[in-house]
Amino acid sequence: MNVLAIESSGPIGSVAACRDDELLVEHALQVGMEHGRMLLPLVDQVIREAAWDKRREIDLICVSQGPGSFTGLRVGVGCAKTLATLLNKPLVGICSLDAMAENAPAEYVSILTALDAKRDQLYAAAYERHGEALERKAGPVIMCAREARDALAWPVYVLGDALRQYPGEFQPPGFVAAPEEQWRIRASVIARLGLEAFRAGRTDEPVSFQPVYLRLAEAEEKRLARERKQP
Amino acid sequence: MRILGIETSCDETAAAVVEDGRRVLSSVVATQDRLHLPYGGVVPEIASRAHLAAILPVLHRALEESKTSLDEIDAVAVVNAPGLVGALLVGLTSAKTVSWLIDRPLVGVNHLHAHIYACALERAEPLFPCVSLVASGGHTSLFHSRSPLEHELLGCTLDDAAGEAFDKAASLLDLGYPGGPAIDRAARAGDRRAIAFPRMKLKAADSLDFSFSGIKTAVLYHCRGPNGRQPRLLSDQEKANVSASFQEAVVDTLVDRLTSAAERTQEGRIAIGGGVTANSRLRERLTDAAKRRGLELVMPPMRFCVDNGAMVAGLAWHLLQAGRVADLTLDVLPTSRAAALAR
């Protein structure tokens, strides 16, 4: 089964082509946050290098569904759902935090992924390792850094750019901070998790498929807050 | 030759199939008015999300209604400037994906030029050369349009767009959103000489630019007192009078600029496009002014005044003939940068 996977939730996007569990090609966007311009050329390059007939040889499309950059997500999800619909092939969305958690070294059992969500909040998910597999125990949710810290049983391995934004909240001995290269979400991991989910019987309906934003538009949040104050 | 046109620059998700630049085989528009209603204006993030939710059903319907299969599409056209970045990106991404998948050329189309071209859809007589006005919620621009591809900017708004002024006035009068149709309706029962709202004055007497912030403020003061914070209770008749007087002031300005531009360029034909040009009083006054001055006035059918994919697919045919094809690295250009480049 040929799997095309797209990640565009983070600052460095990537596209991967896999044949079953074997990674054939993976490329990252060299320039950060240029997904709108550069994602399709990258998809084209990956498909060419995999030597697939794009109309006939893509069997499954996997995409990072968020949370993450709203605009970045819309580019990846927009491309993936258009492809899946036109090709009439299955689509699987993968939680971007799940893919990031896979970067944690095998010796850590408790893992927290945390992305800076701006406005004093973060997107977080907590995992526990069972043998080879990670089980998501909580999230993805939007919360403040202190809540995330207090909710966890120590010690925890933390990944994500929230470490840069809130270094004080995730200090040893309770927390081990992952190095920055492990914060990067990879399309090849999206492909692997997507194929696993597909084998387990999961697919997403492409036409109605949406990113997991975890947050309303700012104007909407403010309006709802106003309405709560003055019913 | 059949071209698929996609437009998501603001708050309408639109797609259409047009044959040979003129024959509209389908034109599907999903409007988001209801979503932006509580805010009295377009919220970019809400618009972008709604585009992503609507784009595939809209594409599907445009193909189905035109009885066109994917492989019968000869090119894919998309508005990539100017507009809201996040909104433009949704249409651009889908257009690129379709173009790549079916190996057909991708054409990037300017939103404003497409609005002018809307006048040429399903029209047998020539449209170009002409002087053209695009007035909508996001733009107010005046062009000397020599051909489908050559548009010289003669003037544009220095602050708010005409449509924004309509939205603001309607919001102050509690008439709802979008403001254009609401003011147009209310104004029918009003006296357009009831209130002498100021006409725009610009420093350079010969300028063809626009400014609508002054009249917006005048409506605010009229409805809420000189500090803008003392809401007055207005009767329906007063609201109708404010609507009619406000509308007349905006229309005066638009008519004045368009006819001055025709005079200056010595063109005998004027064309209009954009949501504001659906305004009934503007159409009436322009028809009248054109008749008096011996100008030919071209107005798009109502359904092509608002953002639509047909104007995009139509104009793209000319771009394609001229070899103006984009590659997969095509990018979006937001309103501010596009405006700066046009200057």
The pLDDT score that the predictor gives to residue B260 is: 95
First to last CA, chain B: 34
pLDDT at B5 over 70: yes
Residues belonging to chain B with any Cβ–Cβ distance to chain A shorter than 8 Å = 38-39, 43, 45-46, 48-49, 52-53, 55-57, 59-60, 70, 85-86, 89-90, 92-94, 96-98, 100-101, 327-332
| Residue A67 DSSP one-character state | S
The pLDDT score that the predictor gives to residue B87 is: 97
Bridge partners of B81? Answer: B110
pLDDT at B321 over 60: yes
* CATH code for residues B2-118+304-342: 3.30.420.40
The arithmetic mean of pLDDT across residues B152-181, rounded, is 94
Contact A41, A216 (CB under 8 A): no
pLDDT at B343 over 60: no
The pLDDT score that the predictor gives to residue B203 is: 67
Check CB contact under 8 Å for A79 and B97.
yes
Residue range A23-74, pLDDT digits in tens:
999 999 877 678 899 999 999 999 999 999 999 999 999 999 999 999 999 9
A71 burial (CB, 10 Å; 0-12 / 13-18 / 19+) is: middle
Domain A105-182 in the same topology as domain A2-97+184-217: yes
User: Domain B127-300, what architecture?
Assistant: 2-Layer Sandwich (3.30)
Check CB contact under 8 Å for A85 and B48.
no
Mean pLDDT of chain B: 94
The pLDDT score that the predictor gives to residue A154 is: 63
Instruction: Please tell us whether the domain made up of A105-182 is placed in CATH 3.30.420.40.
Output: yes
A19-33, A139-153, B70-84: which has the highest mean pLDDT?
A: B70-84
Boundaries of every domain in chain A: 2-97+184-217, 105-182
Least Cα separation, residue A126 to chain B (angstroms): 27
| Residue B193 DSSP one-character state | T
The pLDDT score that the predictor gives to residue B333 is: 87
Contact B282, B276 (CB under 8 A): yes
pLDDT at A20 over 80: yes
Q: Which residue of A has its CA nearest to B99?
A: A40
Q: Token digits for B155?
A: 């003037």
A24-28, A187-191, B53-57, B214-218: which has the minimum mean pLDDT?
A: B214-218
CA–CA gap between residue B97 and residue B78 (Å, rounded): 12
Handedness of CA B121, B123, B126, B132 (dihedral sign): negative
pLDDT at B77 over 60: yes
Q: Which helix (H) or strand (E) holds B54?
A: helix B44-65
Confidence category of residue B301, pLDDT binned at 50, 70, 90:
very high
- % of residues, chain A, pLDDT over 90: 83
Least Cα separation, residue B329 to chain A (angstroms): 5
Check CB contact under 8 Å for B48 and A71.
yes
Least Cα separation, residue B263 to chain A (angstroms): 42
The pLDDT score that the predictor gives to residue B338 is: 60
Distances from the Cα of B156 to the Cα of B132, B162, B201, B207, B256, angstroms: 12, 10, 14, 10, 14
**Which residue blocks in chain A are alpha helix, DSSP H?**
35-50, 70-87, 96-101, 145-150, 162-165, 187-199, 218-229
Confidence category of residue B336, pLDDT binned at 50, 70, 90:
low
Contact B28, B61 (CB under 8 A): yes
Where do the CATH 3.30.420.40 domains begin and end in chain B?
Answer: 2-118+304-342, 127-300
- % of residues, chain B, pLDDT over 90: 87
pLDDT at B228 over 80: no
pLDDT at A153 over 70: no
The arithmetic mean of pLDDT across residues A98-122, rounded, is 94
Q: What does the DSSP assignment read for B112-129?
A: HHHHHHGGGTT--S---S
ipTM of the complex: 0.96
Across the interface, which of A40, A207, A210 has its CB nearest the CB of B97? A40
Across the interface, which of A39, A55, A217 has its CB nearest the CB of B45? A217
CA–CA gap between residue A139 and residue A101 (Å, rounded): 12
The arithmetic mean of pLDDT across residues B175-203, rounded, is 91
Across the interface, which of B52, B98, B331 has its CB nearest the CB of A86? B98
How many Å is the maximal CA-CA distance in chain A?
A: 60
What residues in B contact A207, CB-CB < 8 Å? 56-57, 60
CA–CA gap between residue B142 and residue B281 (Å, rounded): 19
The pLDDT score that the predictor gives to residue B339 is: 59
Check CB contact under 8 Å for B96 and A71.
no
pLDDT at B64 over 90: yes
* CATH code for residues A2-97+184-217: 3.30.420.40
The pLDDT score that the predictor gives to residue B249 is: 96
**Chain B interface test: which of A82, A119, A226 (most B C-beta within 10 Å):** A82
Q: Token digits for B137?
A: 């919620």
The pLDDT score that the predictor gives to residue A149 is: 80
Residue A186 neighbours by CB under 8 Å, 6+ apart: A7, A14, A16, A26, A99, A103
Mean pLDDT of chain A: 94
Residue A132 neighbours by CB under 8 Å, 6+ apart: none
CA–CA gap between residue B268 and residue B193 (Å, rounded): 31
My answer on whether omega of the bond before A173 falls inside 30° of 0, hence cis, is: yes
Cα–Cα–Cα angle for B117, B118, B124, nearest 5°?
85
Bridge partners of B56? Answer: none
Residue range B130-142, pLDDT digits in tens:
999 999 998 999 9
Stronger pLDDT, A203 or A154, i.e. the higher one: A203
Contact B17, B68 (CB under 8 A): yes
pLDDT at B322 over 80: yes
Q: Which residue of B has its CA nearest to A76?
A: B93
Q: Which helix (H) or strand (E) holds B26?
A: strand B23-31
The arithmetic mean of pLDDT across residues B187-194, rounded, is 96
